[in-house]
Amino acid sequence: MNEGACCPPNGEEREDEQVMRTSVESSLQIGEQDSFLPAIRCVPISALKRQTVLQALTQEGSGLEPAAAGDSVEVLRAQEEWEAVENIQAGAGGWQSPDTPRQLISFDEALQHFQAADLSICREKVRSAVSQRGLSALFRCLFGPPQLHDGLQEERDLILAIAQCSLDHEDPVHSRVLQTIYKKLTGSRFDCALYGAHWEELGFQGSNPATDLRGAGFLALLHLLYLVMDSKTLLLAHEIFRLSQHHTQHFPFCVMSVNITRIVIQALREECLSRECNRQHTVIPVVNNLYAATFLRLAYIWRTQQKTILDSSFVLKDLEILAKKNPKQLLRSLDTYLTKGTKRLSRMGLSGAQNVSGSQDTHPKNLTFTGVCDLQLDTTERVQAV
C-alpha cells in the first residue's frame, strides 16, 4: 500500500467527506416499512464508492479483520468491477439513458438518408411492373391505366427499393425511426429498448419489429413515420391506435399498417397509381397519401361494421381491390377527412373508439392475425362489401 493511501486528508477534505458520509448513511437507513432498494437507488454511485463500509472491503488498514489470502483476489476483482460500473454502456437491446434521449426524426430526413445510401443490392430485387402476356397485355394496353412518365420512374424505383430494405438495428437512422414511432404513439419522452414486449403493445407480433416487415421492408416503417410525424395525420394515427386497443374490436396496429403498405406497393407496381402520379408530377406524396387513405378506410369499416380480428383478411382483401380499382376515391376521402378535421371524426365513427384499461388481458390468446398476403381469395368475392 502506498503512503498516499495512509495519509489522513486535510481539514477541508475531511469535512467534505464527513458531509458526504452522513448524507449517504442517512439515505441508506432502512425503516420498518421501507425497502432497501428504493433507498439505494437515489444515491449516486460516486457517493457509494466513498461509503466507509465499501472502502473497508479493499483497505488493509481498516478496523475489520484482515481477509484471508484466498479472499483477497476476489476482493480485488470486486473492486475492479465496482470501478467499471460507471463505464457500462447500454447495448442494442438495453436501455437508453433518460438524460440523453434520441432526437425525433422527420419523414424527410429519413427519406434523404435512403436517397443518399447505396441501395444497389435492394434495387436488384425490385420488380417495377407486373409482367402480362397475351390478351391480358393487349387489354391493359387499350383500357388499362397509363404508364408512369419517364421523369417519375426513378422516384418509383426508390420507393420499391426501400421496400426491399430490411431493418438494421445497427443503423442509427433506423433506430431513430423506431424510437420516433414509439414516442409519438405512446407519448413517452424517453427512448425504449430495441427489443422487448413493448413492441407487442404497439401491435407488432413479437419483441423484434424486424420480423413483421416481410413484403414491405423498411417502407412499412417509413409509412408509420409519415403517419405520426405529419401534423395533419397525427390525430388520425392516434384515433386508429385507440381503436386497435378496443376490448372487442382490437387488432395489431403495426401489423395492420404493414399490410396496408403491402397493398400500396402492389398498386404502385401494377401502375394503378400512374394516372394520379402523372397528374401531380410526383410519386412519394401520392404513395404516402394512399397509405393514409387506406388506413382511414379500414378504420371506418372496422368501426361502423363492427369488425373483429377474425375479419381482418377479408377486410384487407377488399381494401386491396379498392386501392387498385379506384385510388382516387380513397384519396378524396382522405382529403375530406383532413379538411373537416375533428368534425369529420364523428362522421367517420372513430371518436367512439375507447382504450379500455386492462383490455390487453382480455384479448383472446388463440386468435392469430391474417395478413393480406396470407390468404388467397378470388378477386370477385366480397368486392361489394367495400
Q: What is the secondary structure of 158-225 as a DSSP string?
A: HHHHHTTPPP-TTSHHHHHHHHHHHHHHH--SS---SSSTHHHHTT-SSS-GGGG-TTTTTHHHHHHH
Question: Are 147 and 274 within 8 A, CB to CB?
Answer: yes
C-alpha–C-alpha distance, residues 218 and 167, integer Å = 6
Task: Please give the pLDDT value at position 20.
Answer: 52
Task: Please give the pLDDT value at position 306.
Answer: 92
Q: What is the pLDDT of residues 239-282, one digit of tens each?
A: 999 999 999 999 999 999 999 999 999 999 999 999 999 999 99
pLDDT(25) > 60: no
CA 273 to chain centre: 28
pLDDT above 90 coverage of the chain, percent = 46
C-alpha–C-alpha distance, residues 259 and 96, integer Å = 30
Whether this model's pTM surpasses 0.85: no
| Residue 305's pLDDT band (cuts 50, 70, 90) | very high
Among 26-35, 97-106, 290-299, 340-349, the range scoring the smallest mean pLDDT is 26-35
Q: What is the pLDDT of residues 49-59, one digit of tens each?
A: 555 554 554 45
Domain spans of the chain, in order of start? 1-60, 107-385
